[in-house]
Structure 1
Amino acid sequence: MDHEKVNILLVDDQPAKLLAYEVILKDLGENLVIASSGREALEVLLKTEIAVILVDVCMPELDGFELAAMIREHPRFQKTAMIFISAIQVSDIDRLRGYEMGAVDYVPVPVVPEVLRAKIKVFAELYRKTRELERLNQELEDRVRARTAELENSTAKLRESEQRRSMAIAAGKMGSWDWDWISGDWMWDEGQYRIFGVSPESFEVNPANVQALLHPDDVDQLRKAIAEFNRGTRAYETEFRIMRPDGEVRWCVGTAAATVDDSGRVVRVSGVTVDITERKRAEERQNLLAREVDHRAKNALALAQSIVRLTRADEVKAYVNAVEGRINALARVHTILSLSSWQGAELSRLIDEELAPYSLGGQIILAGPQVQLLPATAQTLALALHELFTNSAKYGALSTRSGRLTIGWQVEDQLLTLSWEESGGPLVMTPKSRGFGTRSLLASVESQLGGQARFDWRAEGLLCRLEVPLTRKPAATPLSEKFEDTGSAELQRASG
């Protein structure tokens, strides 16, 4: 359904991050307003009605916490939703400080696009609904005031009728009803019929027919409500499901209030029904998304744990560089997968990302068709390619300007064959032992992906051939359980 766009303010001092947020949030169909500093954000707020503010915690001059404090001091923005983005580990004290400043949520970096979109969408929709309810409430108040003025000289019966009518809220997915406890007569408004999926012409409102539309598991809620009113309860609220005649199940929340006579006996019960099906579905989607994010995070942490545990080096600096390189390779493939909503990654894009840190013009030749990799396959293959590139840059063809590297791949019968051919670099000697790079590459390709990795240590340059099934689901066993690290040597080469 079409709706009026709301304004979302993006505040960050880094243009690249602002562009990334625009790409992630553009599908929401809202107006994205950009501010590159806290002061610029304040200027925007004074001129524009903003629904949600997405602000970076760490900014020069005016950081996210200071900006939030200044925003909250203005009466217009005391209820504006603010979401903090933090690229650093946020302590509980900082998080509490943020909430005290008015933040409604934190989003850590790297940002998961689905999570950020879901959070922004919720608060944008809440802002829209709040404004709509304010408008509807104002319209309702105007109608009530006008009607009250007309009925000042009416009879008591007309005033009583108008009081019942004022309870009927015909807006959105809401309906009102009225039940004469003495005569048993029911009155439904148009919204109530719409929620239950019936028409006034064909549906007779009575307890039996209403009960027939309730979900069998929720019929007891009706009986319980009647019993509560008979025992003297004056108000009742519950969630329940209805089964429309067309078979659709809808979630509702119902509130009811009793009117009593002078003796305290219930004479009338009136209430409001709100269709909350979309909210329930959104909650289910949020729960599913949270579980999916948790699963992916655990997988990523398992890979990172394996990298940290198994990396060996003679010096601390070498160890740090090795771990950072492997973690960055994992981060790059995660970025590619996030942009595809975790549907997969294209092989050439994967190779380009691994090539980027080296800036080697003309030394590398790529040849192969488009190949879409499953997410888990892409993660594992990215780490394998990282080992090949890293060691080639240290000891092989990419360590000299005269070196050349040719990477070719093809697919036949769902089997990806990738060849890695180096030439023109230092003289190569067959290593005496396998280091982490060799063994992690073998373990990932053979054990994780069910493929094969072959090495030919030619004097003129390394020749490696990887065969990877594209349809097999990668093994769930962590890389660290596939092999034991007993040495510190990488893919060893010696120049002559």
Structure 2
Amino acid sequence: MMDDKVNILLVDDQPAKLLAYEVILKELGENLVKASSGRAALEYLLKNDVAIILVDVCMPELDGFELAAMIREHPRFQKIAMIFISAIQVSDLDRLRGYEMGAVDYVPVPVVPEVLRAKIKVFAELYRKTRQLERLNIELEDRVRARTAELEDSHKRLLQSEQRRSLAIAAGKMGSWDWDWVNGDWMWDEGQYQILGLDPAKFELTPANIQALLHPDDVQVLHEAWANFARGAKSYETEFRIIRPNGEVRWCAATAAASTDTGGRVIRVSGVTVDITERKQAEERQNLLAREVDHRAKNALALAQSIVRLTRGENVKTYVRSVEGRINALARVHTVLSLSSWQGAKIRKLIDEELAPYLTGEQINLSGPEMQLEPTTAQTVALALHELVTNSAKYGALSALAGRLSVSWEDDAGQLRIIWVETGGPAVEKPVARGFGTRSVIASIESQLGGQAEFDWRPEGLVCRLTVPPPQRPFAAEPVSAADSHGLRCAER
């Protein structure tokens, strides 16, 4: 502050002179401090800040020159203004010595009050302004440090924000890019390079190199979008394919916006690219699943229709029981297929489902490797097994406690072979003509799957061999008519 008082130290061994200096300088309004010796002056200096020292050259013990020398040796006091007062005539050498000791001026005795006040006033104002500058410098440095800290904090937050954005973009399989419409310069972020499977250090961003990454069938779509910008469009959205350097084809969605100058001319285009390959694949799987569900629903209805129309029974009760058994067999295999999302069914699971009511004892022996059947194959095999189980429970090995059943299967170069062997049941006679159950098994395995069904009517029990070739299509063809024996015609042997 401009009205802050400064300390002026008056040093003289004569009290009268000190009083005279005090009277002369009192009207300056500063804080006048008196010291009667050099040592007293040093003690005050060590504890207080002083603007000016008015010191008598001639003092006992420690004269003015010696005091000045001691003061200048201390780092804190090197810039204090010292004015020497001398009652004797001083030579130029004395003046030189005084200046070397740090004196800023000499005042001879007798002292002219106006001259002394003027000199003290100048140095007091100089000291005050110097302190003000120092405070301003400190405040400025504080503001600079605070502003620097703010900028560093802002830069840190920006970096963190950019890192979060980069992580979000990477997690979302997104990339951003920028194209200078005027000079043709491109800028891609790391996500853009990742989507296209490129190494930023090895790929040069040129129009030719970028176009080479686009699927040939989609190049024209992007050219048209670019042409729309030239005609005044502000943004566009489109989907296209890219071909990575390793040959992998990926689907992308791009959104871009144009920046224009004051004249409305495009100067920059910025955009975001998103990898939507998984979404496209999911859509394709969904479409395929919808078609397959429709196809399988038609097949299931056709099988149910065949079962209802072609089942025979002595009476209504027998007929209903036969239809229910075969529909239940179809429902069981449908459940197995549903649990696998219609990816297929394991052969052991199908056999266990059909023989479940008879697996409590030691009547049945099952053996064979685990095999995965296609959905259509699983449906047909399950219904054929149901026919064999039903007939065995009525007339064969499963109809007697002493009867035994062995079911084995193997994978013969991609073909499924099932061997059904019954023993210990009622005596078997070879039928004169094939029963309806036998014909339904043969029809389903041979007509639907292109396989083979062989029946050996041995006296000790039936041996049936089923051979199913590997499927030729991902799912079954459209069902044939009921008259052509589509579906398993479940009837008694």
The normalised TM-score by structure 2 is: 0.54
1:468 to 451, 456, 466: 466
Shift of 1:430: 7.0
Between the aligned partners of 1:203 and 1:393, the Cα distance in structure 2 is: 73
Query: Hey, what does 2:451 align to over in structure 1?
Result: 450
Query: Hey, what does 2:405 align to over in structure 1?
Result: 406
Aligned length: 327
String of CA shifts for 1:72-109, please: whole Å, max 9, x gaps. Answer: xxxxxxxxxxxxxxxxxxxxxxxxxxxxxxxxxxxxxx
Query: Hey, what does 2:53 align to over in structure 1?
Result: none
The worse-fitting range, judged by mean Cα deviation, of 310-319 and 412-421 is 412-421
Secondary structure of 2:205's aligned partner: coil
Query: Hey, what does 2:417 align to over in structure 1?
Result: 416
8 Å Cα contact 1:454/1:465 also seen in 2: yes
8 Å Cα contact 1:443/1:479 also seen in 2: no
Question: Measured at CA, do residues 198 and 314 of structure 1 come closer, stay the same or move farther in structure 2, by a change above 3 Å?
Answer: same
Between the aligned partners of 2:444 and 2:385, the Cα distance in structure 1 is: 11
Shift of 1:257: 1.3
What are the ranges of 5 or more consecutive residues in structure 1 without an aligned counterpart?
1-148, 154-161, 492-496
Question: Measured at CA, do residues 228 and 316 of structure 1 come closer, stay the same or move farther in structure 2, by a change above 3 Å?
Answer: same
Question: Measured at CA, do residues 228 and 276 of structure 1 come closer, stay the same or move farther in structure 2, by a change above 3 Å?
Answer: same
**2:144 counterpart of 1:177:** no
Question: Measured at CA, do residues 389 and 221 of structure 1 come closer, stay the same or move farther in structure 2, by a change above 3 Å?
Answer: closer
Query: Hey, what does 2:308 align to over in structure 1?
Result: 308
Question: Measured at CA, do residues 489 and 434 of structure 1 come closer, stay the same or move farther in structure 2, by a change above 3 Å?
Answer: farther
The normalised TM-score by structure 1 is: 0.54
Query: Hey, what does 1:27 align to over in structure 2?
Result: none
Between the aligned partners of 2:213 and 2:470, the Cα distance in structure 1 is: 48
Question: Measured at CA, do residues 185 and 412 of structure 1 come closer, stay the same or move farther in structure 2, by a change above 3 Å?
Answer: closer
Shift of 1:325: 0.8
Question: Measured at CA, do residues 261 and 169 of structure 1 come closer, stay the same or move farther in structure 2, by a change above 3 Å?
Answer: farther
Q: Which letter maps to 1:418? A: I
Structure-to-structure mapping, 1:267-282, within 5 angstroms: 267-282=267-282
Question: Measured at CA, do residues 203 and 291 of structure 1 come closer, stay the same or move farther in structure 2, by a change above 3 Å?
Answer: same
8 Å Cα contact 1:451/1:466 also seen in 2: no
Shift of 1:314: 4.5
- For the aligned residue pairs, the C-alpha RMSD in angstroms reads 4.4
Q: Which letter maps to 1:454? A: F
**2:439 counterpart of 1:439:** yes
What are the ranges of 5 or more consecutive residues in structure 2 without an aligned counterpart?
1-149
Question: Measured at CA, do residues 380 and 271 of structure 1 come closer, stay the same or move farther in structure 2, by a change above 3 Å?
Answer: closer
Shift of 1:433: 6.6
**2:364 counterpart of 1:365:** yes
Q: Kindly, what percent of the aligned residue pairs are identical?
A: 58
Question: Measured at CA, do residues 230 and 465 of structure 1 come closer, stay the same or move farther in structure 2, by a change above 3 Å?
Answer: same
**Could you say which structure has the larger radius of gyration?**
2
String of CA shifts for 1:204-231, please: whole Å, max 9, x gaps. Answer: 4343443333222222233212321222
8 Å Cα contact 1:446/1:453 also seen in 2: no
Between the aligned partners of 1:473 and 1:179, the Cα distance in structure 2 is: 53
Between the aligned partners of 2:397 and 2:202, the Cα distance in structure 1 is: 82
Between the aligned partners of 1:336 and 1:285, the Cα distance in structure 2 is: 21
String of CA shifts for 1:231-279, please: whole Å, max 9, x gaps. Answer: 2211111112233344433322111112223333323322222222232
Q: Which letter maps to 2:218? A: D
Shift of 1:199: 4.5
Structure-to-structure mapping, 1:341-352, within 5 angstroms: 342-347=343-348, 349-352=349-352
String of CA shifts for 1:36-89, please: whole Å, max 9, x gaps. Answer: xxxxxxxxxxxxxxxxxxxxxxxxxxxxxxxxxxxxxxxxxxxxxxxxxxxxxx
Between the aligned partners of 2:179 and 2:199, the Cα distance in structure 1 is: 18
String of CA shifts for 1:10-32, please: whole Å, max 9, x gaps. Answer: xxxxxxxxxxxxxxxxxxxxxxx
Question: Measured at CA, do residues 179 and 327 of structure 1 come closer, stay the same or move farther in structure 2, by a change above 3 Å?
Answer: same
Secondary structure of 1:389's aligned partner: helix
Between the aligned partners of 1:294 and 1:327, the Cα distance in structure 2 is: 19
Shift of 1:326: 0.8
Q: Which letter maps to 2:492? A: E
String of CA shifts for 1:403-458, please: whole Å, max 9, x gaps. Answer: 52333546696683624325455x77776775532331232345445324325385
Secondary structure of 2:385's aligned partner: helix
Between the aligned partners of 2:481 and 2:317, the Cα distance in structure 1 is: 24
Between the aligned partners of 1:369 and 1:396, the Cα distance in structure 2 is: 23
Query: Hey, what does 2:492 align to over in structure 1?
Result: 490
8 Å Cα contact 2:441/2:453 also seen in 1: no
